[in-house]
Structure formats: structure tokens, C-alpha cells
Structure 1
Amino acid sequence: MDKPTITIYDVAREASVSMATVSRVVNGNPNVKPATRKKVLEVIDRLDYRPNAVARGLASKKTTTVGVIIPDVTNMFFSSLARGIDDVATMYKYNIILANSDENSQKEVQVLNTLLAKQVDGLIYMGHVITDEVRAEFSRSKTPIVLAGSIDPDEQVGSVNIDYVEAVKAATTQLIQDGNKQVALVTGSLKQPINGEFRLKGYKAALNEAGLAYDDSLVFETEYSYNAGLKTFKQLQKAGATAAVVGDDELAVGILDGALDAGVSVPDEFELITSNNTKLTEMTRPQITSIDQPLYDIGAVAMRLLTKMMNKEDIDAKTIMLGFDITKRHTTK
């Protein structure tokens, strides 16, 4: 026989208080005497009462659930963003449904529709590219959407990020100032706006200012993985690159190890700056110099922007740019 569902009525009866008092305790309302709160919490614990989120949502006409679409749950870049999102969501008492899209465009549409079918109140999307199919779903749906750590070149969707053009320009300039004439750019697909429109633009601007010619044999598109980095180092060597700006930390670790495996001294013979400053950068030897984008803050601000949209508050700007630094470690001179 199924265990009977414990209701708010049962808790109120057991604790000899009104249902309104139980509701206040469950919702964290401060207007409850500490002794009463303690008694109610003990009963909730003993009866194993779980407030029904959907019923609570119906009462307040809001399930306050936010869908978060993450391209690769194992990548530290996305998991650091997710921390910031989650902490702000908890603060506002929102539930989060996290969905992994495996960086696969069919699956993105599927995951998006699943979340919309669950009637989420808002969506945070972390994909680096918004395909036409995903954009069509975005515009069909009335649900507020914010991009975290990514860019919508059309600015149809709210987004929180850093100035990727300036960041890559600063990193490339540093490598040129260290005396490198052959600086490579290693990123994901140039079809993704973050790479093809923003990072590439910053890279070209730095070369231009330094009076160096742009050479597309020094631009590499690859997947963001350690093994891709190992392979890419061999190509970097062939192309004669003495330094690289890399779009992802795991990829950068692969390139670093590829260099060390080949007996190349870092930073004396090869320099490296990565982009996300996740924990990985400090776990390697030598530790990796990185553009420092405030990943946790990007996640937190994206969630805060979404709460404003969901509550129809006034918004100053749909695109929010946070600052960045370059954290110098031991892969640069």
C-alpha cells in the first residue's frame, strides 16, 4: 500500500497551529514566533511532509521554476556559471531544472521544448551558438530568456557576458609584446558568433595595432577537449606558432601537455593564454595564464536579469557586460 500523502492539514493538526502558520514556516515568512517555528519544523520533519511545489505554484499562480540549458555539464566553464545561477535562484526561492544539450542542435530544440512544456517561468541558455531552429522556438515562446556567458549578435535575447573582443585583443597584445611574431588563435567553430565574430575580431585588432599581417593558417577551429589540445599542439608546431590564445581551459591543458610531451619548454619556447580561468588553470604545472571572466558573477547576474524579466520590472539594458582581467601565471614570460 502506498504511503498516504501528508498534507499541510496534517501538519497543522499535529502541531496544533493553523494552516496559515504552517504555510508561513514553509515559505520562510519571518512573522512566526521562534518557538512555534521550531515546533512546526519538528512535525514537518517527523511526518516527512513535502510541500507540493505545483500546488504551491497554483495557489500563487506561479511555479517559479527556471529552466537552465547547459551545453556540456562536464565542462568547468559551464559548471562555474551554473553555481552563480543556482545561488541566486535559491535566494529568490526558484526551482531549477537543469538540462544538458550535449552541444547538439537537434537535442537543444528537444530540451527547449521539454522545458517549455513543463511551463517554466524563465530560461537561461548557455549555448555558444543560437541556431535558427532554437531562435524560432525562442521567439514563438512568451517565456523570458537570458543567455549566460554567450552572445546574441542580434540582441533579441537578454545576455550577460564580458567584452570578448577586448579580452582576446588584450591577451593577443600581451603575447606580441612578449616578442612573439607568430601568435595563434585556437577556438571552437568560427560559425559560433563568440568565436567567429568576437574573438577573431579582437585577435585581428591586436595584430593590426602591432603591424603584423593576419595569417589564417594560425587560426585553428577544434572541439573543446583535452585530446583535441594534444593534437592541436602538433599543428601549432607545423604552423610555426610560438604562442597561442586558447578559447577553453581543458583545450589549453591539452595544448600545454602536448608542448611538454614534445620537449618544448613553456613559457621559454612557447607561450599560452587561456580564456575561462577555471580551477584547471591552477592544477597544471606550469600554471596557465588566463583571461579572467567572473564566471560565478555572470551566472548570478544572468539569473537576476531573468528574475526582473519574469516580474516585468524595468530593465536598463538587455545586454550586460561585466569586466575582465588577465591573471598572469607561468605559461607567459
Structure 2
Amino acid sequence: MSLIGVYSSRDFSDENSYFEVEALHFNLWIIPQRKRDVIFNCHNGKPLWSFIFPRFSRNYIDVGLRIKVIPGGGLNWVDLHLPATNSNGDLNFFDLSEVVLDDRMNDLLFGRKVDVDKEKRTISYYRDGKSVQDEVVKVQKITDLKSNGRFRVEFAEPLKAQYSESYFYIRFRYECQNSDEILNKKGWGFAKAGFVIDVRLNDIRETVDFAEMNQSYNMKDVKEFNAFVVHPTNYMRSAQSPNVHYSRLLEPNAWRPYLVTCEPYSDKQKYVINQWKTTGVVSSAEPYRMFAQLQNEFGLNVFIVYIGGILSLPFLSWLASLIY
């Protein structure tokens, strides 16, 4: 299981507790590796078994957060629980604020017309029938809090609301360090080639054994949650809960500038994008659980397994003759 959560300060007199989460965006990118890279690079700094059973994809997660700060309040950081990470120090991430301010990309990201003021670093667009404006803020540092995947996201400058409530948007990307946490292998065998994805937002079942014990009291409600899972077309969705909002083919050329840090992305590869979205507020009392099962169709990887099984039949027959 993979937990996502947004947390405020424990001290409710701390100004870092006076904010609301308007929207949380979560993207999982499953990028297949080139086979030669799998063969020659899988052993670098990894256990021997990774050479025998290599991972055939590099996986990335994008996180976008729309925050409302009330007048007189300020925000220097926000705590997030991030899945598929290792507690080996601060998170190696890519800040995507400049991409959000890029006129070529923001319409793709938000799925609507976005106007940009690069001098003020703001984006304007229509949301729920009215025009809104967000200030795009750069992420300065993401610090590991040594609490089972909880990180402190620090901003380049404090988020301040002067005379009226203000809205801010941050977005960053990191490569999955522990992909098995979010892409659970179904097992070994021809009928088990695939993954199970289990993502949970504000689910207290995933927090009760943390070092700080139950953290539900300072979990922030999320007013809107949008999750995207992008995978190669050879994976078919065989089960899901709840139903996806929609699925479509990814536009490979259009997304190339956005995925430049997702090595080894190629616009020759076809991808399917699936979206899940909430219809109400997500809280610790009403968590959101997203489940999907991806089945790998008969492709090169499965073909190699089949050939290996056929070639091993004489040896297995000889071994059986020795035993019986």
C-alpha cells in the first residue's frame, strides 16, 4: 500500500497550521527501460538478484499542491507523506515551477486555458465557473523527517496572505526509490505478469504504526484529489476501484518537454493515461482509496519467459528421471 497525506504543524498556534488544501495532484509515470539498459545497468550499486530479475521500468511521481493561506497567516513549509521513497536522507527531487509557468505546458497540465504572468509568477484560469489566480512557488528543499515516508517540503519563500485569502501552487517530481511499494508485483508465472497499485489518501490504517503513532489529528482535509497513472499500452487494466474518470492515449510529442527529466522517456512508446478524481472532501474520516490491477499482455518480456520455460524442459525431464 502507498499512503499520501498532507499534514499541518502539531502546534495549532503555529502559523504553519493555518492553511487549507484546495487540490492535490498525483501522477505516477511508468517509463519502460530500453532492454540494453536493463542488461548493462541493472547491477550498478544493486544486489545480485536485481541482475537476475531486473526491473524493466523507471517510475516517477509528480505531486502538485494548491494551497489557500488565510489573511495574516504564513506558510514556510508543509509536511507530506510520499510513497515509494527510502529513508536515506533528503529527497532528490525536480522542482517543476518553471514548467507550470511555461505557456507550452500549463494548458496540458490543467486541461484548460491558462494565462501566465511570469513577472508576478502567477497563473490564471477558470475553475468551477469562476476565474482564479495562483502564485506559483518554487520548492527549495524536501527533508526526510525519518517517519516512514514523511517529508518536509520547504518553499523558496514564505507563502503570505496580506489582506485577503491567497492561493499558491507548487509542483515537483521524484523518481521512485522503492517502486515495489506502489507497484506491487502480482507474483511469478505466466498468468501473474503485472502489478497491483494501491494508493490511499488520508487513510489512518497506514499511520497507526508510525513512530509518531496515529497522525490523523493533524491530517489536512483535501478538497479535490486528482490521480493519474500513465503506463505503456502493453499493460491492460483488468480491475479497478473506484472506476476511472477516463482513459486515453497520451499525446507523446506534446508531453516530451514535460517529461525531459523522466529518463528514458521516448515519444516512440505509446502510453495510456488513466485518471481518478474525487467528488467530495477527503479526510481521515472519509479517506480515498484507489486500486488498480495492470496485466501485462503477451510481449517481449513474457515471450522470453515462455522460451526459457520451453528450453528448460529437457533439463527438468532429466532431473525428474534422476529423482524418480
* TM bucket, shorter chain: under 0.3
TM-score, normalised by the number of residues in structure 2:
0.27
Q: Which has the larger radius of gyration?
A: 1
Q: Which has the higher strand share?
A: 2
TM-score, normalised by the number of residues in structure 1:
0.27
Q: Which has the higher helix share?
A: 1
